[in-house]
Amino acid sequence: MPTPLKLAVLGFWHVHAKDYARQAQEHPGTELVAVWDDDPALGRPGADHFGVEFTDDLDALLAREDLDGVTITTGTDVHRDIMVKAARAGKHIFTEKLLAPTVAEAEEIIAAADADDVKLVVSLPRLAHGYTQAIREVIAGGELGELTYGRVRLSHDGAVSRDGNEGWLPQRFFDPKAAIGGALTDLGCHPVYLLQLFLGAAPETVSATYRSVAGRGLEDNAVVTVGYPDQRIGVIEAGFASPNPFTIEIFGTNGSLSYTDEGNVLRVSGKQLPVPEHGKDPFAQWVDHIADGTRADDNLARAVELTRMVVAANEAAAKGQVVAYDGRELG
């Protein structure tokens, strides 16, 4: 039996920090040994919860020869600095999305990981879900004809006050500096990478409408529309202000597809299809890449395009106009 990889959590800023710490404890190939955070008020309770060492000295932690890798759940604004430092220390990296605030920083992180043979994986979990695989097979089979329209919506009510209490999503998620953006930049990443998977990752134009229902500082209600060269239209919806079911709709010249997580129901032109079980989650894939010495090529390419789309959407919302996906000026 191989010796488990020793892992540390870097940052308890993100709400998924506990999830990845739990996975590190539960996966047979990994062991959680430490937690770092520059804010002891966040990191120390996390370390105590999982019964591991807490430190606020990142350099000392990364210098440990017995540490193999890190999961990163800090604010997005410090991803580049922390990941490059971890890569240069030879520590494998599993990170919460968004990979970085800019495409340039995302590419710098990937280059640093490649330079030191560090295995880097970004958490894009819905790519491994059963409905995603089923939808890909339907599209590839041509039953829908030429695709014309796609829509993916994901929302929860974390920003909304209940019974006089502030919403369960921490206020730090509405800090423009640390979070980079609101609902679209966080939860909206899932609809973004799914739409890119189904319709393609190279649209021409991006427009966005952001609103704040709860008024907590950043958008908690977002719609992004993308236009493709072949005339397809894609719609990305994300929110922190309503507990809607997760939904996917794909339309083509010959038929339509819909999926909802209410009942895990997939329909193609009115006919219900079975939904497969989920595949390996990104954390397990990361452990496999470390063990096998392989690079997560598809994951990293999609992480960069996800970053590109989020940057374009945030720019479109800020300017109140349509922008080019690839950064060109529109004529």
Give 60's DSSP letter: H
Stretch 262-276: mean pLDDT, rounded?
97
Q: Which residues pair with 247 in a beta bridge?
A: 153, 260
Q: What are phi and psi of 191, to 5 degrees?
A: -60, -35
CA dist 44 and 65 (Å) reads 23
Indicate if 74 and 11 belong to the same structural domain: yes
> Domain of 108: which CATH number?
3.40.50.720
For the chain, the average pLDDT equals 96
Indicate if 171 and 148 belong to the same structural domain: yes
Q: Amino acid identity of 230?
A: D
Q: Max alpha carbon distance in the chain (Å)?
A: 61
Residue 302 lies in a domain: no
Name the domain count of the chain. 2
Indicate if 71 and 131 belong to the same structural domain: no
Stretch 297-312: mean pLDDT, rounded?
97
Helix (H, G, I), strand (E, B) or coil at 71: strand
Say if residue 234's pLDDT is above 70: yes
Say if residue 328's pLDDT is above 90: no
Residue 66 lies in a domain: yes
Say if residue 331's pLDDT is above 60: no
Indicate if 163 and 268 belong to the same structural domain: yes
Q: Supply the range of the domain harboring residue 37.
A: 5-118
Percent of the chain with pLDDT over 90: 95
> Domain of 271: which CATH number?
3.30.360.10
Q: In the block, which residue shows the tokens 């709860």? A: 214
Q: Which of 187, 200, 194, 245 is nearest to 227 (CA)?
A: 200
Q: Residue 326: which pLDDT band, with cuts at 50, 70 and 90?
A: confident
